[in-house]
Amino acid sequence: MKLKLKRKNVGAGILMAVFTLLFFILASKFFVVAYSQSAEGVDLIEYGKRKWLKSDELDAKRGTIYDRNGEEIAADIPSYSVIAILDKKYPNHVKDPEKAAGKLAGVLDTDEGDLEDLLSKKGRFQVEIPAGRKVSYRTKQKIDQMKIEGIDFIRESRRYYPNQTFASHVLGYTGKGDDGVQKGLMGLEKSLDKYLKEKDGKVTFIGDAYSRAINDKKEKIQPPKNGNEVYLTLDEKIQLYLEEAMGEAAKKYKPEKLIGVVADPKTGRILAMSNYPSFNPNEKDITNYTNFAISDPYEPGSTMKIFTLAAAIEEGKYNGNEKYQSGSYKLPNITRPIYDHNRTGWGTISYDDGVRNSSNVAFSKLVREKLGYEKFRSYLSKFGLDKKTNIDLPNEKSGSILYNYEVEKVTTAFGQGTTVTPIQQIQAATAIANGGKMMQPYVIDRIIDPKTKKTVLAHEPKVAGKPISESTAKKVRDILGTVVTDGTGKPYMIEGYDVAGKTGTAQVPGKDGKYLSGWGQNIFSFMGMAPKDDPKLLMYVAIDRPHVEYPEMGSTPTANIFTSVMKSSLQYLNIQPEAKDSKQKSASSKSYGKDLPDFTGKSAKEAKSQLEQLGMNVTIIGSGDEVTNQEPYDGAYVIKGEKVILRTSGDVKMPDLKDWSYMDVLRLSKLMGLKETITGSGFAIKQSVKPGALIKKGDFLVVQLEEPKETVPKPTSDGSKNGGEQNTDDEETVVTE
């Protein structure tokens, strides 16, 4: 009995020893794990973080780009990608793929069968619906209202350009970088990427297997960093005027290319810049990646004569009353003479007449016999025509001064052989418009940190040189004014404003090195400024090989663009027209114009009656009886038949815009402070706000324009077709050897 009890005690002792040993092993293991925070080579802290510590990205916004008035022209807007949860373990998953596909297919405009197959996939936690990528908030709302089980959204941002083709070669576009963040791929979006680029934030939290947050005080937030705000010198209204005018010309004349630049000559600020072919950065329908205005040097033609004239006047070598024999000019050792564009010339005429008629002979003689080649070459440098302007846009190129042989030196005087870019000409022309001071062009006004509102980068007007004196600049403008009133620039006259400018017709080298020939096979251009005595705007426009039929001139589309954009822009800037005496007003046989009186404070009924007696087309908006505002502004020079909008007090109802012109719609928008989007060209056929609906400041308005149908002119009694007079005061640059 005692032996049996003894054996039990030994067994119990052994068992206790074993358990004690196991306890110490486990305890030591616990302390080792607690101390080392790892087990079996696995870092337990990291393992726990991976299993329970969840994180979500906090979207940051790429920097917004604004025009000079603070209007958004490139911005991030929210978009949503549609996803479907398929895992049956997840509480909210797709339970009926057929029903879900049927509802979604109509909204997302996709095949119902393919969508059902996608929603029926097994072994997937979730799938992204291809047709549901980056949908708008409105589409998201429609899907939300259907309450489809298992359908959710991933919130994202996408770059949006509200004005579509607006300054597309200046702005450029973005795409996804390797890190998934938006990246500038062209234009300012690319060159300013380091300023515009955003940095997403992050929130970390303790969550379950489905990333649902578990209440925990250790939630950490790393806030997102939005990109900087960029303010440009571009003016949305002036840019839209230019886009519209160039769009109409491109549609009608189908040129190889079109270039337009509007600048403030006092500061060098670029107010508008456009190219054709253009593209919509929202769609990236790009056929032309070149910003012709800064990256395409070509022979400028007779716009170069502006700077030749300025150099001769500055050096005291120009006498406008001196006579010379026009027609042709023979250089020593050169077989073929230099000709004027009409070959026979105008007989013995003054140099002033030579400028007005764009005589190549006159400018050849000025450089060779009066100014001298070396002196003229020095002025090409003073005007910056042999180097880049260093405008703050990417990929600027410089032309080439062809100046080796005597014939090249002479032809450079009238813009042949030598190549320059439009922006080089704009910079040089600011000296003519700005009292001799040449201003460097720029498009970036300032860059602002959106959080601190501190200025990150700022540009100020910069004088690039002073090639001529103030008196020379004035004399050049006066002579260029006569080019418009009495010379080749007649099509560029604007009612109510004195314009100074110079036409250009440059030849285009073909693939074989020879100049192209034939009607319209040239680059037609115009450099103009207004008002002449104190220019507020400087504009260059060029069209390359427009499809014109004889006898229509190649300069017609450039004249249409220039006069439309310049007049609209001057009126928009409230630049008062010059007063005209009765003799000047009676000189115009095509239209009758008048300075618009100020009707504010007057009876709307009486104002309408007075305007209709003057031949104006009057629209009254507002329920009151007294005029509170008007468009155009008081003092504006209006032509008979032009629309005048009178705003009265009280509620305003949307008028019927049918047959309204582009300018009429803009005037209504300006008067009411609407956010308008105008598509097409011609006259209004559709409007997003129905006639009679109440409108207020800040409302959106979309208007579609359409060209009127063309009618065939009726034959006159002599069998010819009725049509407007054809201006024959155009010029042709002559090939020289």
Known catalytic membership, residue 302: yes
Question: 10 Å Cβ neighbour count for 227?
Answer: 24
> Using CA atoms, how far apart are residues 484 and 531, in angstroms rounded to an integer?
12
Cα–Cα distance list, 32 to 4, 28, 656 (Å): 42, 6, 84
What secondary structure letter does DSSP report for 238?
H
Contacts of residues 330-337 at CB distance under 8 Å and 24 or more positions apart, as own/partner, are 331/368, 331/406, 331/407, 331/410, 332/406, 333/406, 334/406, 334/407, 334/736, 334/737, 335/737, 336/736, 336/737
Largest CA distance in the chain: 154
Between CA 702 and CA 707 the distance in angstroms is 17
Nearest to 115 by CA among 107, 126, 123, 104: 104
AA identity, residue 615: G
Cβ(542)–Cβ(558) below 8 Å: yes
d(CA 182, CA 343): 58
3-class SS at 517? Answer: coil
- Measured CA to CA, the distance from residue 300 to residue 526 in angstroms comes to 10
Torsion of CA 20, 24, 26, 28, to 10 degrees: 180
C-alpha–C-alpha distance, residues 725 and 562, integer Å: 19
Q: How far is CA 260 from CA 411, 538, 608, 687, in A?
A: 25, 11, 38, 29
Catalytic residue among 302, 326, 555, 568: 302
Phi-psi region for residue 105, left (φ > 0), alpha (ψ -120 to 50) or beta?
Answer: alpha
What residues contact 225, with CB distance under 8 A and at least 6 apart? 60, 198, 199, 201
What is the DSSP pairing of strand 348-350 with strand 338-339?
A: unpaired
426-to-379, 535, 598 alpha-carbon distances in Å: 16, 13, 36
Q: Are strands 537-544 and 257-263 parallel, antiparallel or unpaired?
A: antiparallel
How many residues can be counted in the chain? 737
Token reading at 650: 């009280």
Query: Nearest 5 degrees, angle CA 407-CA 413-CA 417?
Result: 55
- Burial of 378-403, coded b for 16+ CB within 10 Å and e otherwise, reads ebbebbbbbeebebbbbebbbbebbb
Q: Per the omega criterion (within 30 degrees of 0), is the bond before 691 cis? A: no
Helix axes 422-433, 305-314, angle to 10 degrees: 40
Residues classed as catalytic:
302
